[in-house]
Every structure is written in structure tokens, then in C-alpha cells.
Amino acid sequence: MTMSLALIAPGAMGAAIARRLTDHGADVMTTLAGRSAGSIERARRAGMRDVDLAQLMHADLLLSVVPPAEAESLARQLAPLMAASEAPPIYCDLNAVSPATLARVERIVHASGAAFVDGGIIGPPPSDRAMPRIYVAGERASSLARLNDLGLDVRVLEGGIGSASALKMCFAGINKGMTALTTLMLIAAGRSGAGGALRAELEHSLPEVVDRIDNGIPDMLPKAWRWHPEMREIADFLDTTAPDGENMAGRHAFEGFAALYEQLGDSARNQEMKRLLDSLIEPSPAKA
Amino acid sequence: MTMSLALIAPGAMGAAIARRLTDHGADVMTTLAGRSAGSIERARRAGMRDVDLAQLMHADLLLSVVPPAEAESLARQLAPLMAASEAPPIYCDLNAVSPATLARVERIVHASGAAFVDGGIIGPPPSDRAMPRIYVAGERASSLARLNDLGLDVRVLEGGIGSASALKMCFAGINKGMTALTTLMLIAAGRSGAGGALRAELEHSLPEVVDRIDNGIPDMLPKAWRWHPEMREIADFLDTTAPDGENMAGRHAFEGFAALYEQLGDSARNQEMKRLLDSLIEPSPAKA
């Protein structure tokens, strides 16, 4: 039987996931009313079928792959339709949201009578060269394992609702936090006349950090404005995860990273920093 | 001509440096009055010659390798002797101190009439397997390059007084900051039922972080009490290095790491965290 999916996914990640699914014979529905020309073109190329919201209720699974700020409003918009449906799709939220937001989405979906699955995507959009891991958690999470037959890499976690989102936050915290830390110290070294020496020392003793300087920082700079609120989400996550009285370590660290990315994302404030970074980054030949 | 050094160095790093120097024929003096039995035994095994403070003034070079909190008091103690000497040794501070402390030490040494060199040691004590880099900066820094003929690895920086200490702070900030960040996120994942999944994801996409989990965290835990004030020194360093209004990023980040290391160093507060970490660390066979 052809599997039927509803995918609310205006961006690059969602379209690339849809493309994998349709290439493997799945029926992927979406709703394009009110979407941008870019989203409509992406959906068309991915082989997605444009339907109205009510028809999405015929899907087996509904995947939400939207900007974090839209995760909750999407659930609210679909709730009456799920409530009116005899067999609403299993609702899987794959967005990078904090535990508090996730809990609100879960409550809305449960109240509508649909089953809820927590999810998180780690890695770049599917392509010839890359395949992200899609982590899912919750009682009905194993329903998503069927997507492994449709060209995706889905991994079911045992930790219950919240563990997939937490995994996504922890991975992003390490990866984007390490880039923030490297950027901070490289700028401080540059301001102290020790930038070139720091780079040479890292080449000797921590070569993976040099890779972060030459590839991670140039990749981050145009996204810093977007990473800034994500660092605040991680600060909230760490705060609520830690016992009372022990929560300042994570909150402080990620508020520091948020401040750095906020500044790097602001062209009126980032010029001295960008100049210093430019002088210490050696783009790899393939990307130069 | 035999080179003559004065080395004020009660710890493992100083003794190992002295051992390299005496093995290469240098005369290494120190003063053991008031030192612990451990320091006296280390000095004896390193071939150091115990003299009184006044005799240290006959050395060509004086190296200060003491705990950061003692860097300034050592300079104060030696200042009258340097002032009374016709040709006092070049005074090189190799300690992990903030720019503010370094500036105070420099002022004391200059006022005594001795030449001052800023320095920083990166890496583990010299041994059969390892050789730290000794970075030096300042007008007279090239005098220390002679130590390269005596079994050490000395690198002269062009950045002027302060750049060697800054380099040491920046490297320590990256290295110990990355361990703090990894520890924070591993604990948060463990508390969220996603610890094992985070480890597996890192094995796939960031294997160098798994090495930090299995080797860096066990190495850090017994030193956390000592890394905690070092993180505060780095917070101060980043604060004074950044322009006004842009200094909260680094200060916040390293105050967060300081809070983590403070907690991990306190056996009354670290039990839940250590239990979580223990369950997620897989010691490598060689160290198990």
C-alpha cells in the first residue's frame, strides 16, 4: 500500500525530505495556499501534491518541519481538523523547539484526539552527499520507522516524548557552541596580537579546531542572526533541565553565545570582529 | 659557556622543565627554603641546585613557574634583590595569569631595574612522550631562544608584552571551554533520556567530541576545582580585551563554565552529575 504523508514544510529541509519520499513512491501532500513563490517552486520540484488543509487529514503521518516560531501556531491551526477527523494522521513535530514549546504542541495535538510524536532532525538536508538522522520519540514513534523504507534515516529513541527534541538541542549546543567558543577566542587572540600564534598552536595540538575556523566560521557568519535565538532556546532548555540552584552554568554559557551571535549577525556592530576573523581564516582550496 | 638559570618552580611542570635543562648541561638554581617535602624531592631528582635567594641573582635568566596566585608575590619578594644586583637576570613570568596581573608583575620587575619577558606554557610537562611549547614575548624575549639548545621548545612571539599570556588564555579557553561545553550537554542529554543517543550521534558526526568525552572528561574531573578559578581569569581577560559594550559574550560564557567546574569540583554538589557522566563515558582500553 502506498504510504501517504502530509508534510508542512516551506523550507529547504522539508522539500529535500519530500523529494526523497516521492522518489521512493510515497504520496506527499502539502498545502501551498499563502506560501511564497520559493516554497511553491520547491514543493513542485519535490513532487508534492497541493491539497487543502482538510485533505491532509487523510494522511497516515503528518510531519511538521517549520521555523521553530511557527511550530505551535501550526498545531493550533490543524487542531480543529484533527478533532473533526475519524482517523487523523499521527502528528510528528520535527522542529528545533525547547521543551516548553514542545509540551504546548503536544497538549494541543492530544486534545484534538491525534497521536503525537516528538522528533528532531540532525544534519544537512538529504542530498546525493548527505543524509540527516531523523530522531523520534514517544509511544507511537515506531510508526515513523516505516520511513526507513522510503529513503530516510529514522531512529526511534527509547526516552519518551521530549528526548528527541532534547537530543537535537544537545547536539546543536555542542556543535554551534564550539563554533561560538572558537570564534570568541580567535577574536580575543587577534585583539591581543596572538591570532596567528593561536592558529599555529591549534594546527599542532587541536587540528579539528582549525577545521572549525576555516570551514565552520565562514559557514556560520551568514547564519549568526538565526543562531542567536537558537542559543537562547538552548539556554532555556538547560535551565529547565537542571535541578534548582544548579542551572546557571548552562544558562550563562548559552546567553554568552547568544550575545556573540547577535553581534555577529548585526552588520552595524560586527565590522571589527569580521575583519579580525577574515585575517585568521584560511579558506580551503575547494571552497576558495 | 654554561647557561645559568634560576627557576622558581614548586610543581610538576617546573621540575620537568628543570630536568630537561640539567640533562642538557645547564646550571639550574632554585630556593627550597620553606618548600614542601614533595617540592624538595622533585627538585633533587631534577638536578636543581638549592641556593639562597640572593644567589639567584647570578643567573642569566629567571623563570617563574608558580601557581597563578603566587606570580605577583614572587615578583615582590625578588624585587629588592634585583634592584640591589648589578646585573640581575632577565625575569620571565611563565604563569597562566590575566593581563591585569601580568601588568602588575611587569611594573614590579621594571621598577627593580630587571628586564621583563611575558611567557606562557602550552601542553603537558616535558617527558619522553611530550614537549610543551613555551611562548615568550617582549623586547628581550629572544634571549629565551637559547633554551632551544637545551632541550626545550621556545617560540618567540612578535606581539609584544601580553601576547604570550593572551595566547595561553585563548588556547586554554578553547580547550577547557570545549570540555565544559561537552560536559554540560552530556549531562543535559542524560537528564532528558537522550544520553546514549547523543553519544551515538557524536560517534557518527563529531568523533573528536567522543574522544573528549572518553579522555577529556575523566582527565578534567579531578582538576575541576582548579579549572574553576582559571575560567574566571579567562572571563576577566575577555572582558578587558573586548571593546566597551561588546564584552558580555565572553564574560557570560566563561562565568557559565566557571559555575560548572565549581560544581563538579564540589563533592557535596556533584554526585548526580558524576553518576550521569559515568554512565555515558566509555574509558578507552589503554586507560581502563
Residue A85 in domain: yes
Residue B209 in domain: yes
C-alpha cell at B264: 563538579
Residue B50 in domain: yes
We report the CATH number of the domain holding residue B244 as 1.10.1040
**Are A272 and A210 contacting, i.e. CB atoms less than 8 angstroms apart?**
no
DSSP 3-state of A233:
helix
Rg (alpha carbons) of chain A, rounded to whole number: 21
Query: A263 and B246 in contact by Cβ < 8 A?
Result: yes
C-alpha cell at B69: 596566585
Tell me: do A186 and A132 sit in the same domain: no
Among candidates B174, B181, B198 on the partner chain, residue whose Cβ is nearest the Cβ of A253: B181
Adjacent-strand bridge partners of B134: B121, B154
Cβ neighbours for A81, distance < 8 A, ≥ 6 positions apart: A53, A54, A56, A57, A88
Tell me: do B202 and B110 sit in the same domain: no
Provide the pLDDT for residue A212: 97
Domain boundary among the residues B160, B185, B201 is at B160
Domain count of chain B? 2
Distances in whole angstroms, Cα of residue A149 to Cα of each of A23, A128, A153, B57: 11, 17, 9, 78
d(CA A10, CA A30): 9
The two counts, helices (H) then strands (E), for chain B are 11, 8
CB < 8 Å to B159, chain A? 192-194, 197
Domain boundary among the residues B130, B160, B190 is at B160
Query: A204 and B133 in contact by Cβ < 8 A?
Result: yes
Tell me: do A190 and A234 sit in the same domain: yes
Residue A285 in domain: no
Nearest to B252 by CA among A180, A238, A263, A253: A253
- Domain of A34, in residue numbers: 4-159
Tell me: do B124 and B206 sit in the same domain: no
A204 touches chain B (CB under 8 A): yes
Residue B287 in domain: no
B192 touches chain A (CB under 8 A): yes
Q: Is A32 exposed, middle or buried (0-12, 13-18, 19+ CB in 10 A)?
A: middle
Query: A133 and B201 in contact by Cβ < 8 A?
Result: yes
C-alpha cell at A65: 518541519
Domain boundary among the residues A125, A159, A193 is at A159
Residue B288 in domain: no
pLDDT by 10s per residue, chain A, length 288 = 688 999 998 889 999 999 999 999 999 999 999 899 999 999 999 999 999 999 999 999 999 999 888 999 999 999 999 999 999 999 999 998 888 899 999 999 999 999 999 999 999 999 999 999 999 999 999 999 999 999 999 999 998 999 999 999 999 999 999 999 999 999 999 999 999 999 999 999 999 999 999 999 999 999 999 899 999 999 999 999 999 888 899 999 999 999 999 999 999 999 999 999 999 999 876 544
Tell me: do A155 and A176 sit in the same domain: no
**Phi and psi, residue A175, nearest 5°:** -70, -50
Chain A, residues 220-239, CB within 8 A of chain B, namely: 237-238
Query: A162 and B189 in contact by Cβ < 8 A?
Result: no
Looking only at Cα atoms, what is the longest distance across chain A? 68
Residue B285 in domain: no
Residue B73 in domain: yes
Tell me: do A237 and A126 sit in the same domain: no
DSSP 3-state of A131:
coil
Provide the pLDDT for residue B286: 57
Supply the ipTM of this predicted assembly.
Answer: 0.92
Tell me: do B97 and B173 sit in the same domain: no
Tell me: do B73 and B156 sit in the same domain: yes
Tell me: do A196 and A129 sit in the same domain: no
Regions of chain B with pLDDT less than 70? 1, 285-288
Tell me: do B48 and B187 sit in the same domain: no
Provide the pLDDT for residue A287: 47
We report the CATH number of the domain holding residue A61 as 3.40.50.720
Tell me: do B178 and B236 sit in the same domain: yes
Q: To which residue does cell 641556593 refer?
A: B51
d(CA A119, CA A121): 7
Tell me: do A131 and A219 sit in the same domain: no
Adjacent-strand bridge partners of A89: none
- The strand order across the sheet containing A27-30 reads A49-50, A27-30, A4-8, A61-64, A90-93, A116-122, A133-137, A153-156
**Are B17 and B30 contacting, i.e. CB atoms less than 8 angstroms apart?**
no
Residue type for position B159:
G
What are the DSSP calls for B236-274, one per residue? HHHHHHSPTTS-HHHHHHHHHHHHHHHHHT-TTT-HHHH
